[in-house]
Structure 1
């Protein structure tokens, strides 16, 4: 990226651009692959770009100065011990929120108490085992960098933490695009709270990754056995 252009982009926006590239490049590249080979190619490309996006985001985040600098990033983040314990607490809270929200959706809208998006991902992982890394590692890391650290950080001083968390949660729900907006929206608010509470993006990452790992337990048990 040109230095002059890079200097105009906050670190948060650069991370969002990395995320968009990691999602869109595999789709673009599939047009150059024979139709018969597209499913396997899609899995491999998605996994590769998810890995690459994760590595780039971690590298970008390790810079000394996070931009934009504001009331959220200027405060010190929680130490490792508090981050780990809050992440574990956050995981248990996320599982409870998911169960409650799923049942509310069923009672109000008769929606199935299953995420179609999750079912598709688990089915693909059953056929392509290495895709498990995308579910329990790459996706949680990238999504927390984008929807919590980048978006919430960019908005918090302008509209407050409640407004920033709400917009982040709405975008998080829309991005998953399987109709369970209450579930993903509620989880998005919870993960924003965990980030705001500790000022450490690793906190919601831990909760998010563990929650995804629980959803993938049937696949994990098959891979281990």
Structure 2
């Protein structure tokens, strides 16, 4: 009986590792697929819209981000649905759904204030000014193709939590400890955004997301916080210019 149990557990571990590897490969392929598919897709968009290359560029990139993230997420969901125990990283009782939602909302504020502290450190020690070029570029694409907002606010956070919190952090935390797993996964999370001047900010986000997952034993906690963060940042970026003009008009009226 004991031998059968050991063999069964070994098979489950192998299955989890395969699932994690496949999800990671899907994410990597999604990230590099633009090198081969973006140009043909751009030509297709030009053909059906009749726009110039410059006019079609933001539409092409926005739609490509949305479609690539959606496909990668669907494939990841299919893979993980076939491995029912894949999400059972932790032993013991998981946090209740209401408290998971509460922690997700609290997590958003933790990340928000964590970024504020990180921004102060970056400016004080390294002279790095606020504002992420990576975020600004993505939001600019969303203005050209609003469908990209769905990828930025929903598909992206879910997929990134699958990869960085479950695949990387979740795999490491089972064989090391929280801090090693959190730091390694947070660094990879920061690097994949290719915004090296703000690597500290992304690392802080990664650490807090890992804490939320670890605290509640539910991946949805970090997903909620991540979605709220991306939604807030996107909203601010979209309305920053009109808000600035509004404030300027108020100053003139005084």
Q: Which is higher, the Rg of structure 1 or of structure 2?
A: 2
Which residue number in structure 2 is paired with residue 108 of structure 1? 125
| Secondary structure in 2 matching 1:106 | helix
Partner in structure 1 of residue 21 of structure 2: 13
Indicate yes or no: 2:110 matched with 1:93.
yes
Are 2:84 and 1:64 equivalent residues in the alignment?
A: yes
Per-residue deviation, residues 69-114 of structure 1 (Å, max 9, x unmatched): 7xx3444432211110110010111111111111210111111111
Q: Give, in angstroms, the shift of residue 40 of structure 1.
A: 3.0
So what's the TM-score if we normalise by structure 1? 0.86
Q: Any idea what the Cα deviations from partners look like across 1:164-199, whole Å, max 9, x if unmatched?
A: 110001101111111211100111011000001111
Query: In structure 2, what is the Cα distance between the partners aligned to 1:76 and 1:60?
Result: 24
Distance 1:7 1:169 in 2: 25
Query: Any gaps of 5 or more consecutive residues in structure 1?
Result: 1-5
Cα distance 1:207–1:50, how it changes in 2: closer, same or farther (>3 A)? same
Q: How many residues align?
A: 214
**1:186-224 deviation digits (Å, cap 9, x = unpaired):** 1101100000111111100000110111111146669xx
Deviations 1:115-150 (A, max 9, x none): 111111111112211111111101100111000111
Matches within 5 A, 1:1-225: 9-32=17-40, 33-34=42-43, 36=53, 37-62=56-81, 63-66=83-86, 72-179=89-196, 180-218=198-236
**Which blocks of at least 5 consecutive residues in structure 2 are unaligned?**
1-13, 47-52, 241-254
Cα distance between partner residues in 1 of 2:184 and 2:201 = 15
Give the deviation of 1:46 after TM superposition.
Answer: 1.9
Q: 1:39 to 1:217 in 2, by over 3 A?
A: closer
Distance 1:58 1:163, change over 3 A: same
Question: Which segment drifts farther, 57-66 or 148-157?
Answer: 57-66
Structure 2: distance between partners of 1:114 and 1:220: 14
Q: TM-score, with normalisation over the residues of structure 2?
A: 0.77
Q: CA RMSD in A?
A: 2.3
How far residue 38 of structure 1 moved from its aligned partner, in angstroms, is 4.9
